[in-house]
Amino acid sequence: MLNLAVFISGRGTNLQAIHKAILEKRLSAKIALVLSSNPDSEGTKWAEKEGLKTIVCRRSDFKQRGEFVAAMMHHLESSGVDFIVLAGYIRKVPPEVVRRYRWRIINIHPALLPLFGGKGYYGIRVHESVLASGAEYTGVTIHFVEEEYDTGPIIFQFPVKILPGDTPENLAKRVGEIEHKIYPKILQLFAEGKLPHKIFDNFSRLTII
């Protein structure tokens, strides 16, 4: 069983999908900690209402960067976290945390990386950029987290076709629906010990949708 920390900044829809998968016994995990960068976000309020251990940890709350990193580490370690899930977390994770949880910290991104990724590419901005580019496909990427935004080895990608008349809003909705199905399934593979030790050599063997 995984003891998860779920990092959020916004609505927390992937957090909710993970929580639902746990309750329905589709994911062998426990949400040991929800770490938010935004005390007023829908996701933070939802997590608190559900009774999940929820901490707001922001760089702006500390005079020194080292104090911020130490506080984040303390929250993770005192909660028994052994795996970190970024779920709409728009802040850069401190390198010290990334190194401490190397191969045990993953992110989900609403596009096919390395396209439309990096600093500033989050939320509706991603879908606006995809549509402006004239791309035929977008999708979902799950990847290991490294020190920079949206880098790290890719674990899984799922394509989503751009449809005539798509807007950033309805594209975000379709991509989000895929995210909510994929993320718990990938996490379950970690819980079963199938990742990261064996990256898929044939993704067609994995039924996601």
6-45 pLDDT per residue, tens: 999 999 999 999 999 999 999 999 999 999 999 999 999 9
Please report, to the nearest 10 degrees, the dihedral formed by the alpha carbons of residues 141, 150, 75, 100 taken in order.
100
Question: Hunting for tokens 């829809």 — which residue is that?
Answer: 13
Residue 106 lies in a domain: yes
Count the domains in the chain: 1
Residue 117 lies in a domain: yes
Summarize the confidence of residues 67-95 as an average pLDDT.
97
Taking 60 as the threshold, does the pLDDT of residue 104 lie above it? yes
Enclosing domain of residue 192: 2-202
Residue 208 lies in a domain: no
Q: What pLDDT band is residue 196 in, cutting at 50, 70 and 90?
A: low
Catalytic pick from 19, 109, 143, 180?
109
The pLDDT assigned to 71 comes to 97
How far apart (Å, rounded) are the C-alpha atoms in residues 195 and 200? 9
Q: Are strands 29-36 and 105-109 parallel, antiparallel or unpaired?
A: unpaired
The pLDDT assigned to 150 comes to 86
Q: Is 143 a catalytic residue?
A: no
What pTM, to 2 d.p., does this model score?
Answer: 0.91
The pLDDT assigned to 38 comes to 96
Residue 112 lies in a domain: yes
Residue 207 lies in a domain: no
Residue 154 lies in a domain: yes
Which CATH number characterizes residue 15's domain? 3.40.50.170
